[in-house]
Amino acid sequence: MTDRTPIENRYDFTILFDVEDGNPNGDPDSGNMPRVDIETGNGLTTDVCIKRKIRDYVQTAMDEQAPWRIYIQNRRTLNRLDSEALEAEHIDARPESKDFAKEIKTLKKSDPTLDLRLRDYMCSQFFDIRTFGAVMTTFVKGSLSCGQVRGPVQLGFARSIDPVNVQEISITRIAVTTEADAADKNNTMGNKFIIPYGLYRMNGYISAKLAQNVTGFCNEDLDMLWRAILNMFEFDRSAARGNMAVRKLYVFKHSSALGDAPSWKLFDSIDVHKRDGVDVARSFGDYEVHVNRETIPDSVNVSEMVDHTL
Amino acid sequence: MRQRIRGASLRRRVERPHHDTSLGSVFIGVFLFVSILMMWYVGVVNDEDTSMKGGKMSIRLEVWGENALFSRSEFKTERVTYDVMTPSAARGILEAIFWHPGMRWRIDRIHVLNPIRFDSIRRNEVDSVINIGKIRTMAEGRGDGGAIYTAESIQQRSSTILRDVRYVIDAHFELNRAKMSSTDSAEKFQSMFMRRAAKGQCFHHPYFGTREFPVEFQLWQESGDPVGFEQGHRNLGYMLYDFDYRNPAHPTPLFFRAELDDGVLDVESVEVRS
């Protein structure tokens, strides 16, 4: 049997991923141009972008079997009405009715542990809820909610090591969409944005206490998370992305649940910079990654994960 | 409802008027009566033992990060941050490091060390919450649980966030003896917090308003007081103080008038209104 006991150690981790001739994360505010910090010119990738890819990998790899199901899914329909939910709950009251709030309250009183049981059920079924948490507050009106689940895994924004150079590429297509267009001209032009090369760094945190006290995120889940991070771009190919790959994943394992060192000290121990003599970086080989093990306490185990088992 | 957060400022008010006319004394009588009522009220609602005052133990924590988002409650769909960290966000950071049911963190001052600068980011977000009814039927072996499909429930929302923030939090805690065991004491809580903060330990990693903006922290290392990013006065208007959780089903927001003096937000004895 696999190890489903909640994790007992705190972890911090650093992901280094790169993009070649692609757009890692479009900015809806700037016509889908890659996200850029306008003051420094560094490229950005949001936490939610990476979480989406982790979810997609687990969904693809585990075929939606419990306990690896994914709640927040891509590309399907959703139409969930409150009254449908109430039917499912075998509640006759409807939000339109005057006594709605009261009836929900009575229901809750007769079964005070309902919220918690539903929360635990959700955590046991869905990898993404166990990992990242979720908000479950459909019945806010009647104060029946299993509430907010804070997951143990927390990600920051990813930021490129050096300023990125965004290029707009104009492209044409031979086919046209409408007859009117066809009469007018025989091809149309479009554009896409690429970053010739960018190496990004993202830091993450895993709280053992939230895993133990709330969601039950276990060692098996942790292995799945590492696997998902290492392979997150392998199943996310598209015209927009170009070549993206996770180059390094550094995992700091603390000896205890609360940890042995501030995460910033651990993150500072990983130094990433362009190699001497490289003016313009165009590949991962143009960068040098150095882990300064002297600044890491002995009780913290740092490992470099490179095992790309798909 | 209005209340003073700290008992000390109330007492000052009671003692102040001593010389006046007969009309004045009626006013003072009423004033005293109201003040005493308020003191009684504060005493009733804050059942914690405040004997820690006087020899109050305080802590000083330096926190920093690349971005922060302390959402204004009036701009929630398109989130806009407050100019500086709210006392409730500061409390959340301290609680992420150490908390116990027998204590309550009180924020005294927030020193703003870096200039206030903004940035904007728009993200694809989901507009739904998980449907509990569906989950229940799934738990009973029917239905699919009604997953949320991002293509259908997409919402693009922008956030105005702070960049490159650094604060120093001055805080102390009050005790709630009812929820402490016989071996618990203020000294114990204090040293537990100090140990954890010094070692970089935390219950869960603290964040600036939202979880994608992690907080790095250390105990204040310098010998002197922190110096704010500017000299002078800056009025920040009404700001969220914290939530009043006495009725857990309906937390009530509390607000205060925030003023930065030489880059320091003093919340030690501000008037808080709901």
Which among A309, A127, A129 has a CA at the least distance from the CA of A221? A127
Provide the pLDDT for residue A248: 94
Per-residue pLDDT tens over the stretch A230-246: 999 999 999 999 999 99
Q: State how beta strands B252-261 and B233-244 pair.
A: antiparallel
Provide the pLDDT for residue A130: 93
Inter-chain CB proximity A157 and B212 less than 8 Å:
yes
Asked if pLDDT for residue A163 goes beyond 90, the answer is yes
A180 assigned to some structural domain: no
Q: Nearest CA of chain B to the CA of A305: how many Å? A: 23
Cα–Cα distance measured from residue A22 to residue A213, given in angstroms and rounded to the nearest whole number: 41
Across the interface, of B130, B200, B202, the residue whose CB is closest to A265 is B200
**A:B CB pairs within 8 Å:** 169
Q: Nearest CA of chain A to the CA of B145: how many Å? A: 8
- Work out the mean pLDDT of chain A and round it to a whole number: 84
Inter-chain CB proximity B133 and A46 less than 8 Å:
no
Provide the pLDDT for residue A90: 53
Q: Length of chain B, please?
A: 274
A184 assigned to some structural domain: no
Asked if pLDDT for residue A66 goes beyond 50, the answer is yes
Does the predicted TM-score (pTM) go above 0.90? Answer: no
Per-residue pLDDT tens over the stretch A1-14: 467 899 999 999 99
Fill in the DSSP letter of residue A275: P
Residues of chain B found within 8 Å of residue A300, distances taken between Cβ atoms: none
Give the residue from B124, B158, B163, B204 with the most A CB atoms within 10 Å of its CB, the best one to mutate: B204
A6 assigned to some structural domain: no
The list of chain B residues with pLDDT below 70 reads 1-56
Provide the pLDDT for residue A147: 65
A2 assigned to some structural domain: no
Record the tokens describing residue B237, joined without a space: 């208007």
Cα–Cα distance measured from residue A119 to residue A136, given in angstroms and rounded to the nearest whole number: 8
pLDDT average, residue stretch A169-180: 82
Which among A188, A229, A268 has a CA at the least distance from the CA of A50? A229
Per-residue pLDDT tens over the stretch B33-66: 555 555 554 444 444 444 444 446 899 999 999 9
- Which residue in A has a C-alpha nearest to residue B131's C-alpha? A138
A238 assigned to some structural domain: yes
Q: Nearest CA of chain B to the CA of A251: how many Å? A: 16
Structural domain count of chain A = 1
Provide the pLDDT for residue A184: 73
Cα–Cα distance measured from residue B207 to residue A81, given in angstroms and rounded to the nearest whole number: 34
Q: Nearest CA of chain B to the CA of A111: how many Å? A: 13
A290 assigned to some structural domain: yes
pLDDT class of A109 with cuts at 50, 70, 90: low
Sign of CA dihedral A45, A46, A52, A58: positive
Contacts by B220-223 with C-beta closer than 8 Å and gap 24+?
B220/B60, B220/B61, B220/B62, B220/B168, B221/B62
Residues of chain B found within 8 Å of residue A88, distances taken between Cβ atoms: 133-134, 136-137, 143
Q: Nearest CA of chain A to the CA of B268: how many Å? A: 29
* Beta-sheet strands, E only, within chain B: 2-4, 58-68, 79-80, 103-112, 118-126, 148-149, 154-175, 216-219, 233-244, 252-261, 264-266, 271-273
- Which residue in B has a C-alpha nearest to residue A256's C-alpha? B201
Give the residue from A154, A201, A266, A269 with the most B CB atoms within 10 Å of its CB, the best one to mutate: A154
Provide the pLDDT for residue A125: 85
Inter-chain CB proximity A258 and B203 less than 8 Å:
yes
pLDDT class of A101 with cuts at 50, 70, 90: low
A44 assigned to some structural domain: yes
Residues of chain A found within 8 Å of residue B205, distances taken between Cβ atoms: 154, 205, 207, 263
Asked if pLDDT for residue A95 goes beyond 70, the answer is no
Inter-chain CB proximity B199 and A75 less than 8 Å:
no
Residues of chain B found within 8 Å of residue A205, distances taken between Cβ atoms: 204-205, 214
ipTM exceeding 0.95? no
Across the interface, of A135, A146, A156, the residue whose CB is closest to B214 is A156
pLDDT average, residue stretch A139-159: 73
- The whole domain housing A92 covers 11-164+192-305
Asked if pLDDT for residue A294 goes beyond 80, the answer is yes
Contacts by B6-10 with C-beta closer than 8 Å and gap 24+?
B6/B268, B6/B269, B7/B39, B7/B42, B7/B43, B7/B50, B7/B53, B8/B53, B8/B269, B9/B269, B10/B35, B10/B38, B10/B39, B10/B42
Q: Is A64 strand, coil or helix?
A: coil
Which are the contacts of A266, defined by CB distance < 8 A and separation ≥ 6? A12, A252, A296, A300, A302
Provide the pLDDT for residue B20: 44
Per-residue pLDDT tens over the stretch A34-64: 999 988 999 999 999 999 999 999 998 988 7
A230 assigned to some structural domain: yes
Give the residue from B135, B161, B247 with the most A CB atoms within 10 Å of its CB, the best one to mutate: B135
- Which residue in B has a C-alpha nearest to residue A65's C-alpha? B144
Asked if pLDDT for residue A79 goes beyond 80, the answer is no
Which are the contacts of B66, defined by CB distance < 8 A and separation ≥ 6? A156, A157, A159, B163, B164, B213
Which among A215, A226, A294, A304 has a CA at the least distance from the CA of A261? A294
Q: Nearest CA of chain B to the CA of A170: how many Å? A: 25
* Single-letter residue type at B14: V
